[in-house]
Structure 1
Amino acid sequence: MLKITWHPLCHAVLKEENFTVEKLVVPVARSNSRSWRGRISQKIPEPARDRVFRRYWTASVVSTVGDGVAVLAIPLVATVSLRAGTSQVSLLVALTWLPSLLFSIPAGRWVDRLGRPKEVMAGSDFARFVLACSVALLNALHVLQFWNLCFLVFLLGFFSVLFDVSDISVFGLLVQPEDYVSAQSLLQGGREVAFLLGPTVGGLIVQVVTAPFALLFDGISFLISAALLRGALPASPGSDSHGVRYLPSNGFNFRPRYPIIRSILYATAWCNLFLNVINAVFIVYLVRSLHLSAWAIGLYYSVTALGGIAGSLVLNRMARRIGVGRTLIAGFVLYCTPGIIIPMVKGSAAFVSGAILLQALVSGAGMIIRDSSIGAVFTAVVPNEMRASVRGVFQTISFGMRPVGALAGGLIAASFGMKSTLWVGAAGAALGFVWVARSSLVRHFDIEGP
C-alpha cells in the first residue's frame, strides 16, 4: 500500500505496498519567531522561498500568457489576413483541441518511459516558439495560406499536450509532499492571472500593430519559458530512478487500483459533461434571453479569473482547517453548483448582471480550489514514473467530455429550448461532487501539525 506518514523531520515518507493509500498528512509550517520578520516569513508559502520553484512558476506563468495571446491572435490572423469564414475559424478552434484527444495518452506514456519531463517541457516550449514565429514570418512574406495555418496550429496543440502531461512530473520533482497544497495554490493562482492577462495583452498588441506580430510575442514568451526551464531546474532522474520500469499500459492499469484517483476522474468527467451542456447555449442565452451587453459578457470572464485568484489565496488555509479531502469536495461544490443561478435568475438588468457575476466569482474560486486540490492529491498518490501517463488518461477523458456535452446541449436546446438545457446542465453538474464525497477522500486526506 502507498503509506504517507508523518516523519520527525517534517517530511512525508512514501512506502510502496500494494497500491492503496492509507493516509496523507500535510504538515502545518510553524514559526517560533515573534518578530515582524518572523510573522511576515510565516505568511510566505514555503515553495515561494525556493529559487528553483520560483523559476519553474515563472516559466509556467509566462507560457500560459503565451497561450492566452494565441487564443486571440490565431483566429484574428485567419479572419483578417486570410479572410477565413466562420466554418474555417471553427475548424482552427477544433484543431487546437484535437491533439489533446488524440495524443494525451500516448504522450504521457512516452514521457514516463523517457523519464525526462523537464527536458520535454523545455523542448515543447522551444518548438512552440519556432511554430508561432513561423506563422508571423509566413504572413510577413505573404505566403501564409489557410492550410499552412491549420497544420501549424495542430502542431502547436501537439507540443502543448507534451508540455501539459510533463508538468505534473516536474512539479513532483521540485516540491516536497508537505508543500503540495501551497505550491498548487501558487501555481494555479499564477496561471489564472496569466489567463486574465493573455487575451488582454494580445488585444493590445493586435490594436497597436497586427495579429501576426502578436504571435511573434507569443513565440518569445515560449522561448523565455524554455530558457527558464532549461537553465534552472535540476536534471530529471530518468525512468529507472526508483528501480522500476513501468510499461506503457500502466497509465490505464494504475487508475482503477486507486479509489481516490478513480473517484476524482469520474467526478471531473461528470462535471465537464454537464457544464458543457450549459456552455453550448450560455452566450446565446445571455444575449437573447437576459439581454446582457457584450461588455457585461466580457466582464463575466474577467470576474471568473478574479474568482480564481481569490480561490488560490484561501486554498492553503482551507486545507489546513478542514483537510485536503474536504477542500477538494468543497471545490467541486463551489465550481459546479452555482450554475443553477443562470436559468433561475430574472428581474431588472442590474440584478441579473449582479447575479451572473456572483456566479462567475464563486465558480472561478471553486475551479481553482478543485484543480489545485486535484493536483496535490495526484502528486501525493501517483508515483513520479507514472504521473505523465495518468495525467494523459485524465486529460483525454476530461477533454473528451467537452464535445460530448456541447453536442448534447445543442440537441436538448433544439428539442426543448435553452432554459431547459440550462436546467439539465446545472442539475447534472451540481451532483458531480457525489463521486468524491462518497469515496474515502475525507478519511484519507487531512492536515496535522508537527
Structure 2
Amino acid sequence: MTRGAGRDSLWRDPRFVRCWASSAVSQFGDRVSEVAVPLIAIGVLDASAGQVAWLTALAWAPNLLALLLGAWVDGRAHKRRLLVVTDLVRAVVLLSLPLAYLWGALTLGQLYAVALLTGLAGVVAGCAWMPLFARLVPSSSYVDANSKFSAARSASFIAGPAAGGGLVQALGAPVAVIADAVSFLVSALLLNRIAVDEPAPAARTGAALPALLRDAREGLAFVVRQPVLRAALGCSTTVNFFTFLAGTGMVVLFADRELGLSPGAIGLTLGIGAGGSLVGALTAPRVSRRIGVGRSITIGAVLFPAPFALAAIAGGPTWAAAGLLGAAYFLVGLGVMWFDVNLNSLQAVVTPDALRSRVVGAYSTVNYGIRPLGALAGGALATAFGLRATLVTVAVGGVLSVLWLLPSPIPGIRSLDTGPWHGTAEPPSRTGESGSPGHPARTD
C-alpha cells in the first residue's frame, strides 16, 4: 500500500482486503457461537444463571494475563504467524464440542474449558494484531479502516445471531458450533496468504522472565502516564464492567426465561437490533468529522449502556417483547460503534511502534480483565434481585463511565491531526508506521 494513500485505496490493497475478509468471516462465526454456546449450557446441560455467568467469566479471564502476553508477543518476529496459529487452535477446540455431544460425553466442565482456551488464544491474537496492522494501514486511514472492520463486525451481529438461532433450532446447539470452527479455518487461510515485512524486534537483555516482566511494566507505565490512554482506560473499564453484568449469555437467558422467546426469535431479535452497530460503524467517520473525534467518543460512552434500561421493561406479547429488546440493542450498537471506532483510532495515534503489543496487553489486562468480574457480579445480582434489576444497574452504572472522559483531553480533540500528543513517546506520524487500528477481531 502506498504510504499516506487516501481511504479509497484500502479496497484496492489485496493485503487489507484479505485481513478484512478474515475478520469478517471470523466475526460471523462468533455470532453463531454467542447464541449456540449459551444455549448448550441452558438447553442441553440445564445451567443456572450463575453457571452461565461463569461461562462468560472464563472466556474473558485470560485477559488477566494480557500484560505478560503482550510483552511476550512484542518479542516475537512473526505476528501474522501467531494469528494463523491462534485461529487453528480455536477451530480445533470448538470442534471438540459437537464431537463430545455426538459421543454423549458433553459436560459443563468441557464447555468451561473450551471458553477458557478460546479466550486465551484470543488474547494472544489481540496482542499480535495491532503491530501487524501498523505495517498495512496508513495513519491517514485509521478511522476509515476501523469503520470498515467495525461495519463487518456489525453486519455479523445482524446476520450471525439469526443464522445461529436457525442452526440451533434445525441442528441443535452443539452441532451449530461447527460454523464458528469453520470460520476460524477460513480466517487462518486468508491470513496465511498475506505477505508483510515484519521487522525483527529488539533483542531482550538479561534473563528471560525478568526481561519479560520489565517489558510488561513499561507497557503499563506508558498507559498510566499518557493522558489520553489513561482516561480511555478508565472509561472503557467502567463501561465494560457494567455491561458485562448482562453479557450475551445473560441476555439470552433473559430472552429465553423472562420473555419466553424461541431460539430462532432470540437470534432474529438480536440480529435486527444489531442494525444499530452497522449504522454506527458506517456513520462514525462522518460523525467524527462533524462534531469531532472526542465528542463522538463521549456521546458513545453514554449511548452504549443507557438503552439497557429500555430492555429491562420489555414484556407483554411476543412481538412487543422482541421489538423492545431489539430497539434497545439497536441503540446499544449505535453507541458502542461511535465509541469504539473513534477511540481505537485515537489510541493508535498516541501509541509508539515499540510498545504496541505491550500497550495492548496492559490495556487488555485491565479493560478486558474486568469483564469476568462483571460477569460473575452479574450472575450474583441476577440470582439475588432478578434479571430486570440487573439490566437497570447496567444502564445506570455504565453511564457513569463518562465521568472519566470529562476532565480529560479527549472531549476537546477535534481530529487525529491535532491533539495533546506531548504525553507520548513520539508524535503521531503520517508515514503509516506509527499506529494501527484497534484489533477488529475477537477481543472487543
TM-score by length of 2: 0.76
Q: CA deviation at 1:182?
A: 0.6
Pair 1:202–1:416, CA change in 2 (3 A): closer
Question: What is the letter of the counterpart of residue 64 of structure 1?
Answer: Q
Pair 1:66–1:103, CA change in 2 (3 A): farther
Unmatched 5+ stretches in structure 2: 204-211, 419-429, 431-444
Question: What is the letter of the counterpart of residue 118 of structure 1?
Answer: R
Distance of 1:353 and 1:72 partners within structure 2: 16
Pair 1:358–1:121, CA change in 2 (3 A): same
Distance of 2:91 and 2:173 partners within structure 1: 16
Which residue does 1:264 correspond to in 2? 232
Q: CA deviation at 1:412?
A: 6.0
Which residue does 2:356 correspond to in 1? 387
Match for 2:188 among 218, 226, 237?
A: 226
Contact 1:336 1:432 in 2 (8 A): no
Pair 1:176–1:344, CA change in 2 (3 A): same
Query: Within the alignment, does 1:302 sit opposite 2:265 as a pair?
Result: no
Query: Within the alignment, does 1:194 sit opposite 2:156 as a pair?
Result: yes
Contact 1:101 1:400 in 2 (8 A): yes
Match for 1:49 among 12, 16, 26?
A: 12
Distance of 1:278 and 1:212 partners within structure 2: 23
Determine what percentage of the aligned residue pairs are the same residue: 29
How do 1:200-219 and structure 2 match up within 5 A?
200-209=162-171, 211=173, 213-219=175-181
Contact 2:312 2:388 in 1 (8 A): yes
Deviation larger for 92-101 or 407-416: 407-416
Which residue does 2:366 correspond to in 1? 397
Q: CA deviation at 1:350?
A: 7.9
Which residue does 2:215 correspond to in 1? 247
Pair 1:151–1:296, CA change in 2 (3 A): closer
How do 1:10-409 and structure 2 match up within 5 A?
11=4, 45-74=8-37, 84-86=45-47, 90=52, 93-94=55-56, 96-137=58-99, 147=109, 150-209=112-171, 211=173, 213-240=175-202, 247-277=215-245, 300-342=269-311, 356-408=325-377
Q: Which has the larger radius of gyration?
A: 1
Distance of 2:116 and 2:250 partners within structure 1: 27
CA RMSD between the two structures:
4.0
How do 1:410-421 and structure 2 match up within 5 A?
none
Q: CA deviation at 1:107?
A: 1.9
Tell me the secondary structure at the aligned position of residue 415 of structure 2: strand
Tell me the secondary structure at the aligned position of residue 439 of structure 1: coil
Deviation larger for 348-357 or 147-156: 348-357
Distance of 1:213 and 1:347 partners within structure 2: 32
Contact 1:100 1:395 in 2 (8 A): no
Question: What is the letter of the counterpart of residue 232 of structure 1?
Answer: I
Q: CA deviation at 1:257?
A: 1.6
Pair 1:293–1:79, CA change in 2 (3 A): closer
Match for 1:446 among 415, 425, 428?
A: 415
Distance of 1:228 and 1:214 partners within structure 2: 23
Distance of 1:366 and 1:227 partners within structure 2: 33
Contact 2:32 2:180 in 1 (8 A): yes
Contact 2:164 2:267 in 1 (8 A): no
Tell me the secondary structure at the aligned position of residue 162 of structure 1: helix
Alpha-carbon displacement from aligned partner over 1:224-263 (angstroms, at most 9, x marks no partner): 111111112414223239xxx9823222111112110010
Distance of 1:139 and 1:351 partners within structure 2: 35
Tell me the secondary structure at the aligned position of residue 216 of structure 2: coil
Number of residue pairs matched by the alignment: 406
Q: CA deviation at 1:441?
A: 1.8
Deviation larger for 143-152 or 384-393: 143-152
Pair 1:171–1:438, CA change in 2 (3 A): same
Q: CA deviation at 1:311?
A: 0.5
Contact 1:65 1:195 in 2 (8 A): yes
Pair 1:248–1:113, CA change in 2 (3 A): farther
Tell me the secondary structure at the aligned position of residue 288 of structure 2: helix
